[in-house]
Amino acid sequence: MDLYFDDDTEDIVIRGGDLALSSDDGIREAAIQDIKSHLGLFEGEYYKDNTVAPRFGIPWFDYLGVKGMTRTSLNTMLVDAILECNVVSSVESLESSIDRATRKATVTVKIILKSGELLEDSITIKA
Q: What global pTM score does this model have?
A: 0.72
Residue 125 to residue 103: CA distance in whole angstroms: 9
Total of domains in the chain: 1
pLDDT tens, residue by residue, 29-49: 778 888 888 888 887 777 777
DSSP string for residues in 70-123: -HHHHHHHHHHHHHTSTTEEEEEEEEEEEETTTTEEEEEEEEEETTS-EEEEEE
Q: What residue numbers bound the domain in which 37 lies?
A: 5-126
pLDDT tens, residue by residue, 80-100: 989 988 889 999 999 998 887
Residue 63: give its domain's CATH number.
3.10.450.40
